[in-house]
Amino acid sequence: MVTLTDRCLSNPGADIFVPDGVSIEEALKRTTHLAVGAHHDDLEIAAYPAIEHCFENCGAWFAGVVVTDGRGSSRTGPYENYSNEEIREIRRREQIRAAMLGDYGIVIQLDYRSSEIKGGINESLASDLKKIAEAVEAGEVISHQPLDRHPTHIAVFYHVLEALRRLPDKQQPDSFIGAEVWGKLDWLSSTQKMTLDSGRREHLAQALIGVFDSQIAGGKRYDLGEIGHRHANATYGDSHSIDKFTQASLALDLSALLNDPSASACEFALDAVDRFRGETKQRLIDWES
């Protein structure tokens, strides 16, 4: 077990918060589900099924990692005149509130600027993520995926992949899941698409997203958009069967990228596009023939 403190992390502004007050070592050791998000509130959108699974569950604990510092957040309405440093502090406090509300085991904020991680692998970030992964040894890791449209999400995906690939085989997670945030995954082939139940405790889901007032009051209604999208996923997932869930989150199984360290994430993503193209073509050919 790797011992981790905020002093072990690369940035002096990095922060580790344990809502129930146990030691950092204990909080990391008990972790079963680890999620890494690019921004504050990405965890609550991308990893809600894991958060809900761990909520008030003494046998499962959620650890969340936020990579960037929040300085680049959009600002309108009541936050319009906030400086970069002021909005950074607001975002950090919002993430801590979410961790307390959601019964997280631990939340780690790494405090990187987006610009620092989008020009190729940042060795400091890759090292931080590897240390965290070693310390928790979680069975499930959730992060962004290579079909996302947000460049910072793509950067975080590549850094998480790099960090996990640097782990010894015995420390690899049982599952590596890429969640949808920017760029939804309803078009994926059923051979690749994971449909996860996100309809339990809707009040908790709404409250977690609602914590991020700097985004919602600042002009982005993630609270309405994300919950509505989960309802849509559940309803439109299968045209020939009744709804399995009241709400659903879609994801992509990324385990193949860990099983084969030489596999290209780009080719992996393009394979998904090719499957969609092939299935679409076949449906139309069947009609036209």
What is the CATH number for 180? 3.40.50.10320
Distance CA 17, CA 38 (A): 17
What is the pLDDT, as a whole number, of residue 220? Answer: 87
* Res 239 pLDDT > 90: no
Could you tell me the pLDDT band of residue 241, with boundaries at 50, 70 and 90? confident
Asked whether residue 284 is assigned to any structural domain, the reply reads no
279, part of any domain? no
29's tokens: 């050791």
Percent of the chain whose pLDDT exceeds 70: 98
Residue 219: per-residue pLDDT: 82
Domain coverage including residue 199: 6-262
Residue 214 lies in a domain: yes
Mean pLDDT, residues 32-40: 97
Closest CA to 34 of 60, 68, 16, 56: 60
122 within 8 A of 159, measured Cβ to Cβ: yes
The total number of structural domains that make up the chain: 1
pTM exceeding 0.85: yes
Residue 20 lies in a domain: yes
**87 lies in a domain?**
yes
Please report which confidence band the pLDDT of residue 1 belongs to, taking 50, 70 and 90 as the band edges: very low
Report the first-to-last Cα separation within the chain, whole angstroms: 61
* Structural domain contains residue 66: yes
